[in-house]
Structure 1
Amino acid sequence: MAGESRTGTYDVVVVGAGSAGCTLAGRLAARGVRTALVEAGAVVVPPETMPIASLAATAPGHVLNWAYRATLCQGRESTVPRGRVLGGSGAINGGYFVRAPPADFAGWAVPGWSYDDVLPYYRRLENDLEFGAEPVHGRSGPLRVSRPAGHLRAPLTDPFLEACATLGYRAEPDKNAGGPPGAGPVPTNAEDGQRVSAATAYLPPPWGRAEPPLHPLTVHGGHPVEELLLDRGRVRGVRTADGSVLHAAETVVAAGAVGTPALLQRSGIGPEDTLRAAGVAVRRELPGVGRGWSDHPSVYLPLRAALPDPHPDAVAAQAALHLDSGTDPAGDLEVLLFARPFAPGGPAHVMCAVQRPDSRGLLAITSPDPAAPPRLDFRYLRSTSDRHRMRAAVRVAAEILRAAGWDRAGADDGGPQGWELGNDTRLDEWLYTRLTTSVHLSGSAAMGNGPDAVVDPELRVHGLTGLRVADTSVLPSVPRRGPAATAVMIGERAADLLRAC
């Protein structure tokens, strides 16, 4: 349905067909709500995105992702891929599908968003193929959740978990149970090696498999939303880059933690200095739009092991150790096994990440043009605590490699050498040259009632009517686990919050 401009009137317009947006639009339409789902990218489910093992669409320059340039820290630039296709980043990522732990919701302290409040939505979204009969899980939701087993369990996975046990780390066979952190297999949004994204799970044919057919749903694709239609404090819909105008009683922005604050800023909603510098008139000053967000800083350690390659359909992220750096019993560090080489003939890796960083980022548009990418500054490792914890994660990973028999002492294969591991200054030098991002950006339009809050607990944008945000932008900080499952949960919860519309 891309190409021609159009005008339409709906009950709800959802901007962004990512994990939260597809979930929300599918649930609304199933209730008979006339819903328009607007996606800047392709509104198809390309066959190449279906194998959960494939990360090809995350490569810079691939047509299915926005490859944003970003500054990670001083002197360290990177490319940040975000999904540009039906299903969003959940249609192209590594398939890691782990819930945020209870401690995140307790720390955020947002009314209506306690762990007990959101658990029914985590349960409602899933059909957990291993633990569905457990009280904290679901077995009839639209989205399949599984863990690597049988031929899809990589040869590296069991040695990794055995090494964690040898070092005294707790076993955590179900990382979505809300229990204490430990080592265990990674839940994925997959079944038999095939991806089950929010697009395929929640949308009807021809996009997905939801039944019965959702007649009130219209999907518009191929053109980004240029601006929100704001009239005397009320948002009345959107205008897309091809001139289409879609009117609605409620507009929900679910364009992701990069796309959402960028659209709000282009529409004149955000920090006054940012808007004026970009040549945008201030319609509603909200200082927190694009500010104060966080993400997981990470580095990769290569490993060489004389084991068979994983099955072609096996997910890359097979198992993870979550652990406490010494001050966080809920687990603020992650060591994640990537059992598949990033390039043919290359090594497998373990990723080390700080899961509850102190450092906060900035996002600012530079122009009202939706084709102009925003400026992203992650400001990684600015705090002493973040640097301390990143060193700790790398040292734990090195211990696991040795315990698993994968250590190559003295080998110059990109991993830190012993003399670097034992010296904070040298290890920091190694970290800064290899630092990357987990691409889990959250909190760029955060919930709350403080001066920097953007939305209230019902996801309504402060000071405006007819406008809500529903994606990981609203989380006050990045969760201690990757946010893919939480993004779908937000879509489920937003559907209930909009039930009265």
Structure 2
Amino acid sequence: MPHDQSAAARAGDGPRGFDVVIVGGGSAGAVLAARLSEDPARRVLLLEAGSAPRTPAEVPDAALDGTTVAASVPGHALGWTYRASLLAPDAASGIHMPQREYDVVRGRLIGGSGAVNGGYFVRPRPADHAEWAAAGGDAWSEENALPLLRAMETDVDYGDTEIHGGSGPIPVRRAAEHPVSQAFEAACLAAGSPSDPDKNAPGGGGVGPVPQNVTDGVRRSPAMQYLLPALSRENLDVRGGVAVMRVIVRSGRAVGVEATVAGDRTVFTGEEVVLASGAIATPQLLQLSGIGPADDLRAHGIRCVADLPVGQALSDHASITLSVTPRTTLPAPDGSPFPTALHASALTGEPFELLVGARPLDEIVPGIGAPNALPVMVNLPATGRGSLTLQSDDPAAPPLIRYGYLADERDRGIARHAVRVAADLIRSREFAVVAESDDAPGARLLADDGALDTWVASGIGTTVHTCATAPMGTVADGAGRVLGIDGLRVADTSLLPAAPTRGPAASAVLVGETIARAMRTA
């Protein structure tokens, strides 16, 4: 039966009178709630499906510990675990793509995935801003984003400069030197890569330390740094354990959300509703609310209120993990387990990243990887597109997630080039000082494009950097306003028209800051 949204609105009688109801307290949602509630006249309600610690002392240890991503293990209490699959490559490829499924973990507490990630805090690049501005307007340009990027950070290394901030909520520091990073940098420099000491400055890439929001071993998530200090404000109400099921739309306007709280159905109403539940849950909520591809919605008995391509352009980075064995006992890294990265370009110009770990993979992600094996991650550009669709009109049923990795010859060519670069570097004389290669493909396989394609396909993984499931330009405008529906916005990485060139943690904070700026000036 089609959903009767007026009946849903009568299902409960929740609190009235909020100016803004924000659904989801992840990186962008936490930032948005903190910034909007700076205005004491604006009443802000933040609803989080997971737990909602109110002080740093209440944050679980697995979320505080920035030296591992233990909470990102499938089935962990601090994560939502989804299943995803891989779209088959084009039939002309001639490669064998095994049926692959992935466990995709998203944070299940205030802070979302930003509370359980690897502490990587690298800004979007000029090309990202150009693409976002083309889709969403000048607010997303590099020039207009820079003040927000500076305002979000306290750069521990560079301080307050023309490009860095010195008094923002999130402390950002570059990884300290480590034997693994020193050896990897030496190998990259010997191979002709430039030095890149500040990856948050404009530049063409190279090898250098990774900016991170981990200090004294503690992950300084956006929720911890923005939201927790704001909880004393009388106009900010943050509630955990609230599972939003759909947005209530009446006569083309969002008037609230239907949710369950401790098993009871209730309604929360507001002048505006903002979905900030992340690039998996936000598009699912839109579709459950009748906002999405009309034919897909009707197939599930959902009345379409806005025919929009929600979930049709999923963008994410594929990853291939190699491993190396240390030649001696190495010290633990001071902060994030990934201290150094090479940013380079394939022969066709697309960027890729080699991210080197300084802790064994089975310590970074317990239960994964061989003991004592250090990971070398080959992270590929988000060129292929996947999808996210409903499999049921039941809000408790997970969506169908499909990645579009290795979908065409361009993608496979980038992967071949990146793997060849990685294999050469980790077998180099400079890197061999600290470690030896375990599982990089051999010279014969590296020389055979078809065999290498099959090898890559057998081990392709995901970085869980999902974006573009409700993108600017086709689903929303540059202020996050959903097209055709008044009073409803999106404010998370769903909104980005493509995954950023590098990891999206800093970009997610920028989304929160940008939408907050748009709402304050509306």
TM bracket, shorter-chain basis = over 0.9
Which residue does 1:472 correspond to in 2? 493
- Secondary structure of the 1:403 match is coil
Which residue does 2:4 correspond to in 1? none
How many residues are matched? 480
Note if contact 2:186-2:430 (Cα within 8 Å) is conserved in structure 1.
no
RMSD after superposition: 1.9
- Check if 1:249 corresponds to 2:257: no
**Correspondent of 1:425 among 408, 426, 450:** 450
> Compared with structure 1, are the counterparts of its residues 404 and 119 closer, same or farther at alpha carbon in structure 2 (3 Å cutoff)?
farther
**Correspondent of 1:309 among 323, 327, 330:** 330
Which residue does 1:352 correspond to in 2? 378
Q: Deviations over 1:222-258 (max 9, x none)?
A: 1321010100000011111231211111111111111
The residue identity in structure 2 corresponding to 1:263 is: L
Task: Quote the Cα distance in structure 2 between the aligned partners of 1:342 and 1:76.
Answer: 21
Task: Quote the Cα distance in structure 1 between the aligned partners of 2:213 and 2:16.
Answer: 34
- Check if 1:57 corresponds to 2:71: yes
> Compared with structure 1, are the counterparts of its residues 216 and 307 closer, same or farther at alpha carbon in structure 2 (3 Å cutoff)?
farther
Which residue does 2:164 correspond to in 1? 137
Superposed structure 1 runs of 4+ greater than 4 Å apart: 404-408
Which residue does 1:37 correspond to in 2? 46
- Check if 1:180 corresponds to 2:188: no
Task: Quote the Cα distance in structure 2 between the aligned partners of 1:223 and 1:404.
Answer: 55
After TM superposition, give the deviation of residue 13 of structure 1 in Å.
0.7
Which residue does 2:33 correspond to in 1? 25
- Check if 1:215 corresponds to 2:234: yes
Q: Deviations over 1:388-411 (max 9, x none)?
A: 001111111111102255569xx9
Query: Aligned residues: percent identity?
Result: 44
Q: TM-score, normalised by structure 1?
A: 0.92
Which residue does 2:315 correspond to in 1? 294
Task: Quote the Cα distance in structure 2 between the aligned partners of 1:59 and 1:277.
Answer: 34
- Secondary structure of the 1:241 match is strand
Task: Quote the Cα distance in structure 2 between the aligned partners of 1:258 and 1:407.
Answer: 41
Which residue does 2:155 correspond to in 1? 128
The residue identity in structure 2 corresponding to 1:91 is: A
Superposed counterparts of 1:160-171, under 5 Å: 160-171=184-195
After TM superposition, give the deviation of residue 285 of structure 1 in Å.
0.9
Q: Deviations over 1:370-417 (max 9, x none)?
A: 211000010211011110001111111111102255569xx9943322
Which residue does 2:368 correspond to in 1? none
Task: Quote the Cα distance in structure 2 between the aligned partners of 1:305 and 1:47.
Answer: 28
After TM superposition, give the deviation of residue 221 of structure 1 in Å.
1.4
After TM superposition, give the deviation of residue 310 of structure 1 in Å.
3.5
Which residue does 1:232 correspond to in 2? 251
Q: Deviations over 1:396-440 (max 9, x none)?
A: 1111102255569xx994332222212111111111111100111
Q: TM-score, normalised by structure 2?
A: 0.88
Superposed counterparts of 1:312-351, under 5 Å: 314-328=335-349, 332-343=351-362, 345-351=371-377
Task: Quote the Cα distance in structure 2 between the aligned partners of 1:235 and 1:142.
Answer: 32
> Compared with structure 1, are the counterparts of its residues 469 and 270 closer, same or farther at alpha carbon in structure 2 (3 Å cutoff)?
same
Q: Which structure shows the bigger proportion of residues in helix conformation? A: 2
Task: Quote the Cα distance in structure 2 between the aligned partners of 1:55 and 1:115.
Answer: 31
Q: Deviations over 1:166-204 (max 9, x none)?
A: 11101111111121111111111121221110111111x
Q: Which range moved further: 164-173 or 269-278? A: 269-278
Note if contact 2:25-2:111 (Cα within 8 Å) is conserved in structure 1.
yes
After TM superposition, give the deviation of residue 210 of structure 1 in Å.
4.6
Unaligned runs of 5+ in 2: 1-11, 54-58, 89-98, 364-370
Q: Deviations over 1:432-487 (max 9, x none)?
A: 11110011111111111xxxx00111211101110111111111111101111010
Which residue does 1:283 correspond to in 2? 305
The residue identity in structure 1 corresponding to 2:178 is: A
> Compared with structure 1, are the counterparts of its residues 412 and 135 closer, same or farther at alpha carbon in structure 2 (3 Å cutoff)?
closer
Which residue does 1:86 correspond to in 2? 110
Unaligned runs of 5+ in 1: none
> Compared with structure 1, are the counterparts of its residues 412 and 397 closer, same or farther at alpha carbon in structure 2 (3 Å cutoff)?
closer
After TM superposition, give the deviation of residue 18 of structure 1 in Å.
0.4
Task: Quote the Cα distance in structure 1 between the aligned partners of 2:152 and 2:317.
Answer: 25
- Check if 1:386 corresponds to 2:411: yes
